[in-house]
Structure 1
Amino acid sequence: MPSAVVSSQGAVSALRFGRVAAMGTVVLLILVAGVWGSWGSAQHVMLTKGREHGTIEVARCAGDSCTGPYTPVSVGSRERDSVRIENNVAVRKGGTYAVVVKPGTDEVVRSGPAGVLYAWVPLGGALLLASVVAAGGLRSARLSWLLAGTGLALLTGAFVTV
C-alpha cells in the first residue's frame, strides 16, 4: 500500500512540471512575438543583397510617416521624388538618412547599425518581459538575468546609435 508521503511528492512533482511547462511556453511565445514584430523591418535591413540602397532627405512629417526625395547609391536603384519612412524617434525633419527600399514599394527603412538595432527593438522589449516571466514563473534567476541583460543591451544599443 503506497504511503501518503510518496503520493504527495508525486503530486508536487507533477505540479512543478506543469508550472515549468506552462511558464516555459509563455516565455517562448513572448520571444516568438518579439521576433515576429521585429522581422517586418529587420529582414529589409539585414538581408540587403539585391535591394535598393540610398539616402532620404526628410522634407516633411505628418502623422505616422515622413516623406522626402530619395537619392540612390546602389547600382540599379532609381531616383524617386518622394519616398515614405516611418515617423519615429530615429527620423527627424531635415535629416538625411541611409535607407533601404522595401521591394515593390516607395517605403524605406533605416539601414546600417542604427537601422539594424532599431528594427530589433520589439525583440528587446520582449526579452525584458520574458525575463520577468522567467524569474516569477520559472523561478530561474540565471535565465532571467540573461534575458534581461540581452534585452537591455539591445535597447541601449538602439538608443545610442539612433
Structure 2
Amino acid sequence: MRKRSLIRRLGESAWGLLLLTRVVVVAALAVLVLAAGAWVSWSSGRDAVASGLERGTMTVTACGASSCSGPFAPSGPQPPLARVSVDRLVTRGTGQRFPVVVEPGTAKVVRTGPAGVLFALRPLAGALLLAALVVGFGLRMRRTAWLSGLAGVLLVAVPFALG
C-alpha cells in the first residue's frame, strides 16, 4: 500500500475541519434563533404567568386596527378601570370576555390562562419554524427539522383555536 503525500493528507484534514466548522456554525445559528425566540416570548409573556399583579376580566367593546379596548373588572379590591386595551390578536372581536392582568403602570392588559400563555409563545413558534429551516437545510437533519416545524405550527395554531 502506498502512503499518501503530505499535501494530500493536509488537504483532507483541512476539508474535514471545514465541514466541522460548517456544522458548528449552523448549529450555533439554530440555537441562537431559538434562544432569541424564547427570550422575546418570556419578555412578552411574563405578565401572563406572574403573580401579585392586578387580575380581573376584560370585556371587549371596541376594536381598532391593532388593539381592542373595553372595561376592566378586577377580581380583588382594586377599583375597576373604564378603559383598558389589549392586542387585537388575542381577541375574537367585540363582546368577548376573558381573564387578564394589568401591566404595571399602564392601561394595557395581557391575557392570562392557557390561551394567554400560548399567545405569548408566538415568538418562540416563529423561532421554531425558522430553526426548522436552518436545521433541515444547514445540518441536513430532516426529521428533527420536521418535528421543529410541526411544533412551531402547533404553537401558532392552538392559541387561535382556544381563542
List alignment gaps of at least 5 residues for structure 1: none
- State the partner residue of 1:95: 96
- RMSD (CA atoms): 1.9
Residues 84-112 of structure 1 show CA distances to partners (whole Å, capped at 9, x for unaligned) of 11122534122112111111211101111
- State the partner residue of 2:8: 5
Residues 1-162 of structure 1: pairs in structure 2 closer than 5 A: 2-47=5-50, 49-73=51-75, 75-88=76-89, 90-162=91-163
Residues 62-101 of structure 1 show CA distances to partners (whole Å, capped at 9, x for unaligned) of 232221110011x343311111111225341221121111
Q: What SS does the corresponding residue of 1:84 show, helix, strand or coil?
A: strand
Q: What SS does the corresponding residue of 2:89 show, helix, strand or coil?
A: coil
Scaled by the length of structure 2, the TM-score of the pair is 0.87
TM-fit CA distance, 1:9: 1.9
C-alpha change, 1:145 and 1:46, in structure 2 (3 Å) is: same
Rg comparison, structure with higher value = 2
C-alpha change, 1:159 and 1:109, in structure 2 (3 Å) is: same
State how far apart, in whole Å, the 1-side matches of 2:88 and 2:153 are: 23
State how far apart, in whole Å, the 1-side matches of 2:87 and 2:134 are: 31
C-alpha change, 1:77 and 1:16, in structure 2 (3 Å) is: farther
Give the letter aligned to residue 33 of structure 2: I
State how far apart, in whole Å, the 1-side matches of 2:160 and 2:69 are: 23
Deviates more, 1:112-121 or 1:91-100: 91-100
Alpha carbons 2:90, 2:116 under 8 Å: kept:
no
TM-fit CA distance, 1:23: 0.9
Aligned length: 160
State how far apart, in whole Å, the 2-side matches of 1:18 and 1:90 are: 46
Deviates more, 1:125-134 or 1:30-39: 30-39
List alignment gaps of at least 5 residues for structure 2: none
Scaled by the length of structure 1, the TM-score of the pair is 0.88
